[in-house]
Chain A
Amino acid sequence: MNAREEIFSRIRTALADVTEPDPALDVPIEWVYQRPTPMADVLDRFVETVEDYKALVVRVPAAEVPTRVATLLRGAEVSSVVLPAGIDPTWRTAIVAAGIEVREDDPPLDRMELNEIDAVVTAAAVGVAETGTIILDHAADQGRRALTLVPDTHLVVVRADQVVSDVPEAVGRLGASVAAGSPLTWISGPSATSDIELSRVEGVHGPRKLLVILAE
């Protein structure tokens, strides 16, 4: 018997006491999936919980997003930025106009090159109010995973209609992306560690600065 066959045979022997072949009949699950979590105001809560992680959040009317992208980058003393291919072209124009060097990921930059770039600007797929989480499904306006990982500052624009109450709704919205094989990155604040005497340090390997624009 090869390892696979032997493990399956061990499992079947171990489960000799299980006589109902249908998992759903054998163990019913009393849980309503994708239920919203009740809250007074989803957007207010989102801003609160993201700020709790020491990320900067600004609420901006949709029309002002390009200029705010540029001013936030300038405020963070960013001099170079990498943009995913599918980013809103008006953001790009504003960033260039602000005198920030734009690097294209086409052809893909290698990791050494990415390591030399100060910041990345992306859109998002979903925002989660209850937990302050921003989820990327790495569509064209968010770029491949390394883009939002290696540069030290990540500016992410979340649209108000992307923000849901809690994780169950979020997972519901992401089902199609996962089924299509897209990776997901869930981001809740800047990278952090509490490994030395439990004292929290913001910023280890992932971006040490997380800037969030909520576009309404």
Chain B
Amino acid sequence: MTAEPQARRTPAPSSTYLGMPKFQKNAKAKLDDPQLRKNLRYATTTIRAKRAERVAEVADWEELRQAGEAIKTRTLRHLDTYLAQLEESLTRNGATVHWARDAAEANQIVIGLVQAKGVDEVVKVKSMATQEIDLNEALEQAGIAAWETDLAELIVQLGHDRPSHILVPAIHRNRAEVREIFLREMKQYGTPAPEDVSDSPAELAGAARRHLREKFLRAKVGISGANFAIAETGSLVVVESEGNGRMCLTLPETLISVVGIEKVLPTIADLEVFTRLLPRSSTGERMNPYTSLWTGVTPGDGPQEVHVVLVDNGRTKVLSDPIGRAALRCIRCSACLNICPVYERVGGHAYGSVYPGPIGAILGPQLRGIETELDKSLPYASSLCGACGDVCPVRIPIPDILVHLRHKVAQTKHVPKLEPTAIALAGWALSDYRNLQFLERFSTLAGKTLSSRSHLGALPWPASPWTNARDLPVPAQESFRQWWKNSHKEGER
């Protein structure tokens, strides 16, 4: 151990998402990282294949998706009704409900609850909501150590890192790196990794088990999110694989769950739809190893003090857009990430928030408002190929929302954006064949001039937003119409 005073209680993350440059700039940096690209391609292709196999087993998959969509749509369109019911059910079952308008308020509530228990550490289940509000850092500032207990999150935390994928957050690390991180960091924060630990995933998982067991056995406060919150019964549901979730939900005396207000489902019966959709879409399993459901306080079993913090943090902003609100149906399965050709190449970090991939591109800008360069660029982080919408288990029309948000971005700028300009130009060209001929001649002239190159680099405005993120092929040396004319005789038309 080093002698220097340890000001922090947990490993410091390397960077913050705040002030991230725009997507295309981040993406460029990531494209230069061949290891990351290789790992990501392997992960996404493997999970994609497993998902396809498991989805094919379900005869009524399309009906099931429609049911998932309808249930979520109904809930969102009557969110006030269901939230009031959820609060009532939770309270009736012994839970204390807290409301947080934004991240700062949610963090303050959690810090207050932890401090009231007089403890300076908590164990945590992987949760997107707590990552979104950056709870770990807020707790650290308050002198409270928050231990991530999901293996991948542990790798990320001990590696002073940020997650790169919703489902496999440490996919950017290979086994040798994980071994190094464990050997270097575990001993500074608790039970060390055995000196002779190899880089086999089984041995590394064993080291994590030993390291965390000590923390589980002494933890007084657990912190979780929830995949679903059932309004009718006041039950929360956590879906997981390793059993770290069960440890955090069961062993501590106090449990604090931070839940986005969009996580509510009307009835316990609805669970049959989502527990079939989620694991098959997510990990490509028929069912994930563990699902826990609890309803407030169960006398003699598990935490006897149960808090639920219901968080807005931009969700009502998303809700106010009748087209964009469909993004709130998301059950965080990550199928859209794994299918996305852009995500596969640049990874999660480039999206500059905890929600990467296609869902991040539509949710991030809506949650935060389209203000920063990053949020203005995210709706363009897509080729609009449509694959994400097709795999989404709750049928979120991601490409439509991307286009919708591009229009919104365009409205925030004084200068016209490329696409409206291009569409106007296309309209002009197609309105009169002479206009089209003129453009074709211009384009083929450019093609002849540039014929020694196969791709153009970045073009100046108005094409720059397009070509900054794409390789533009050199224009053909003859237009389709010229080619048709030259290669077909009059009579053959």
**A182 pairs with B216, CB closer than 8 A:** no
Q: Assess whether A23 is in contact with B78, with CB atoms less than 8 Å apart.
A: yes
Q: Which residues of A contact B243 (CB under 8 A)?
A: 149, 191, 204-207
Within 8 Å CB of B379, what residues of A?
none
B111 nearest CB across to chain A (Å): 15
What 1/0 mask marks residues of chain A from 9 to 33 whose CB sits below 8 Å from any chain B CB? Answer: 0111111011000011011111101
Cβ 8 A contact of B216, one of A144, A196, A205: A205
The CB with the most chain B CB atoms within 10 A, among A29, A112, A205, is that of A205
Shortest Cβ distance from A195 into chain B, in angstroms?
Answer: 4
**B46 cross-chain contacts in A, Cβ below 8 A:** 198
18 residue pairs of the A-B complex, CB under 8 angstroms, read A14-B319, A17-B322, A23-B81, A30-B63, A31-B70, A33-B272, A130-B286, A144-B302, A145-B302, A179-B233, A181-B93, A187-B289, A193-B242, A196-B175, A196-B201, A198-B46, A204-B242, A206-B289
For B71, the chain A residues whose CB sits under 8 A away are 29, 31
A66 within 8 A of B: no
Restricting to A125-165, which residues have a CB under 8 Å from any CB of B?
128, 130-133, 138, 144-146, 149-150
A41 interface hit (Cβ, 8 Å): no
One digit per residue, 1 when the CB lies within 8 angstroms of any chain A CB and 0 when it does not, for chain B 249-271 equals 11100000000010000101101
Contact of A171 among B169, B212, B268 (CB under 8 A): B268
B interface residue count range (under 10 / 10 to 19 / 20 to 34 / 35 or more): 35 or more
Q: Does B131 interact with chain A (Cβ within 8 Å)?
A: no
| CA gap between A183 and B275 in the complex, in Å | 16
Asked if B67 lies at the interface with its beta carbon under 8 angstroms from chain A, I say yes
* A interface residues (Cβ-Cβ under 8 A, vs B): 2-4, 6-8, 10-15, 17-18, 23-24, 26-31, 33-34, 37, 49, 52-53, 108, 111-112, 115, 128, 130-133, 138, 144-146, 149-150, 166-168, 170-172, 174-175, 178-179, 181-199, 201, 203-207
Return chain A residues, CB-CB under 8 Å to B300: 108, 144
CB neighbours (8 Å) of A195 from chain B are 150-152, 155, 168-170, 205
Would B246 and A185 count as touching, CB distance under 8 A? Answer: yes
Complex CA gap A187/B293 in Å reads 12
Question: From residue 60 to 95 of chain B, which have CB atoms closer than 8 A to chain A?
Answer: 63, 66-67, 70-71, 73-75, 77-84, 93
Which residues of B from 15 to 65 have beta carbons under 8 Å from A? 39, 42-43, 46-47, 59, 63
Residues of B contacting A188 in the complex (Cβ-Cβ under 8 angstroms): 285-290
The answer to whether B80 touches A178 (Cβ under 8 A) is no
- Report the separation of the CA atoms of residues A186 and B239 in the bound assembly, to the nearest whole angstrom: 9
Residues on B with C-beta less than 8 A from A138 are: 298, 301
Does B213 make an interface contact (CB < 8 A)? yes
In the complex, are the beta carbons of B43 and A198 less than 8 A apart? yes
Determine whether the beta carbon of B251 is less than 8 Å from that of A146: yes
Interface string of B104-126 (1 = CB under 8 A from A): 01000000000000000000000
Q: Tell me the minimal C-beta distance from A108 to chain B in angstroms.
A: 7
Task: Give the 6 A-B CB pairs with smallest separation, nearest first.
Answer: A206-B243, A14-B320, A205-B243, A27-B74, A31-B67, A10-B316
A185-B290 in contact (CB<8A): yes
Residue contact A11 to B295, C-beta cutoff 8 Å: no
Given A27-B73, A178-B295, verify A191-B269 contact (CB < 8 Å).
no
Q: Would you call B291 and A186 a contact (CB within 8 A)?
A: yes
- Chain B residues contacting A34 (CB-CB under 8 Å) are 269, 272
Quote the shortest CB–CB distance from A24 to chain B (angstroms).
Answer: 8
Residue of B67, B82, B171, B289 with highest tally of chain A CB at under 10 A: B289
Interface-central residue, B63, B75, B168, by most chain A CB under 10 Å: B168
B178 within 8 A of A: yes
